[in-house]
Structure 1
């Protein structure tokens, strides 16, 4: 098939070679065309269409200097005998056949055929960052490009100065404040810029060099701002294995974006990420719990099981295009002391505190009642001891006349119904057992008794009849 294609090209007058180029909508391509050194003074051009009916897109006789014509630019490097054509802001309509041509007035023009295919790709226009923070810019490309080099450069005065390149490395590569990681298995380039400042603002290019013949690129504007809403750094302390609470403000323009907290591990600023994409709803993922209040522009949460290895975190937002903007740095100072509540989550700490508070209140109430009872008892004892003393002879409590045992008013033995002193049946005047006249009468000698005395006694106390 290759032999047939080469033979077909040889049959077309002026066409000496061909290449296939892939670009992405919104981005651009750089196409490099060689020519014979004897034509370095000739006019160069780039046209679209079949060779015999090709329509110019750009044509110039300017040497060693960029010439622009709309979205097309051409640079003729006479020393290397190559000229480069750049096409920006690609669309799917740009797909088709093109030719790099050298104008030869006295003969047939020399030409290189270019088959351009435009695929739908990621369009990055403006990326915003904040002074003192960091940013990760993600650039997606197709997996068909496996053997390539990626350069990142900043444009200034029609030149693009490289800030970092990957050199086909599969690991993170760092150059001062710039780091890059090319994940060829996922077709993803991650560009990390740390310690942002306003001088970093400007136009950047991510250039993927596929071969010596062409490369494709994406352009974006980096806008670095200073926002007073947000703290650049927070310092906290916690015992080893304990937990800390965090509060991170973010700009109002990012209220609708996904928020996250990242744990940094070495050069990887976001080794492990916990995102939250809903407002006013807790997100619990392992050792990190997050809550996003979009009305207050406040991200709160807690980090548990803190260790010295996990002592640096970042609060940030993620845009719709996947770019990560790191706003606030959280540094946790880890101590060696492990408290009894080490590793407890926030809700457990609050529960323990509430239960402890209730127990303390109950203990206070019980102690208060015991103390009050003791005071009442002591008052009663003091009142008894201080009661005024009285003469036993007059004290009704000691007066023998009021002794229940001798008081006829309280002596049960002096019940009027049984007391012989009050029983009418035992009236001394009628009871012969107690009648003194009886004794007197029986003691008299009948032979010697006086009639006068007898008459008196019998008159006052008649003697009852004696039955023989």
Structure 2
């Protein structure tokens, strides 16, 4: 026995009830995502059964009824207060696109509302705008839109899924400032811009610029942001002495010829105090290769990290990092070069002192040797005299003859060597040791 409901369904099918649709509902969804089909109904039908069907709404075309439990693919909720029945279709596929009907069961003809579902791939876009930025810097992204979207909501999100972009937007035109993100809308040019400051490496990735539509799919444009790491920056270590000067040499590319040069001090580029080229900081030697900054009369407080560049933006390769250490004079020992310098400077004085000492030593030694030689000769003469006297007395036995004999022997000993002969040299060398001769030659 057929039920009354089955009979109604057969009658509706035979009478083409779906042709009497009240209005048209357009629904748009993305592949793999969910979509909600909301169908309003008139007062007085709150207690009536609602359903969603497709094709011709035959018995086998019913997808879900409000009296049924929710299914995996379809779920239904009837809000009797607002008089809207909502059917959610999960995990959309392209073959889900097409015509549907929202129906309200009643005696006679059911009430139908036509639903047209369009399914689109959840990705964007065929054209991607590539943007580059630098770590710790900022970047501005331009998002164009058509003239019909002047008053529409603009938004900016991360990723490339249009289905969730608005819900996950990092900034919108209704809230133009949010942390590091700022949105500005120029309706005359038809472009809204998003500025991201204090960039980090994690900011690299895909983004979407979106414009909300009242009906249909929202409009998107894709952006790919690459944040460059400060990996190739030249870093130098410098040391200076308090009270003296130190020089920074910064690269200066030819295409920066008309750019202003900068020197700033700080541990981070984002927190760097510009040093004016006045007082102890002066600019020198600006040419096509580099420019120099000289710090005179260094102070202990000058120690720290410096950055010099010749470009208004922090671009990789356009700046140099310096780590300056200022040392006090008392705490700084002599270097090897300085020690060698002082050694060579003092060497002539040391040699002169050594010569003077040697001369004095030789003269003293010579005097002592001469005195020793005289004493020796005197002793020999006295011994010889004594021997001569004894011999004379024994021979002649006469005091006068012995005295004459001693005088004669003394004269012969003193004059038996002629000056200028080889025997004279022999006598000199015999009476003067080698050390005395060396001193004589040295003097």
TM range (shorter): 0.3 to 0.5
Greater fraction helix: 2
TM-score with structure 2 setting the length: 0.39
TM-score with structure 1 setting the length: 0.37
